[in-house]
Amino acid sequence: MKGIRIKKSIEVFFVILIIMGLCLSAVVLMDAGKKAYGRILDNNNQLENARIALSYLGMRLRQNNSEGAIDYIQKGINNADTIKLMHSGDLEGMVTYIYYTDGELKEIYTWAESEPDPEFSESIVSLEGLDIDFIDGYFKFSAHYTEDGHPRSIEQIIGIVGNE
């Protein structure tokens, strides 16, 4: 009788060990899935922010693309390359400055006669990096992001009227 009890106890013990092993495996797999999903989500968010920045810049330049309405200021606001958009029509006398600083694409909307104050700037989107180049009437934007620890960038080139 004692031998049967010991045998059953050993069987129950091994069944419990197997169940605990399966539970531990499930927890490890869920944690690995959570980390992978977090990485994928972070990669997608960074790429989306880069695309948002380029789309915003393209839209703003196209809206204001008229002779003399767009200026490029090297080392402008906060010592960053800055785009100055002079508005016309109902908004004549107003200016928008767009620049990248401290990991954010920002804009300042102000009167043309006043000096732009970075304190009043609004953040458009957070980015790892943004290069703004102006060559022969064309803006070249390079938005930088990281994908799985590797630096990546997407670019956009936009031609403007005048200001060459």
Percent of the chain with pLDDT over 70: 96
Instruction: Tell me, rounded to whole angstroms, the distance of Cα 31 from its chain centroid.
Output: 26
- Residue 131: what pLDDT? 92
- Per residue in 145-164, pLDDT tens? 988 888 999 999 988 876 54
- Residue 162: what pLDDT? 62
- Per residue in 73-87, pLDDT tens? 888 888 888 999 988
pLDDT value at 140 more than 90 = yes
Per-chain mean pLDDT for the chain:
87
DSSP E strand stretches across 57-149 = 70-73, 82-86, 94-101, 104-111, 122-126, 129-135, 138-147
CA separation for the pair 47, 152 (Å, rounded): 9
* Mean pLDDT of all residues in 61-65: 86
> Whole-prediction pTM value?
0.76
Q: Which residue has the higher pLDDT, 164 or 3?
A: 3
- Residue 141: what pLDDT? 94
Instruction: Return the domain boundaries, the chain.
Output: 38-159
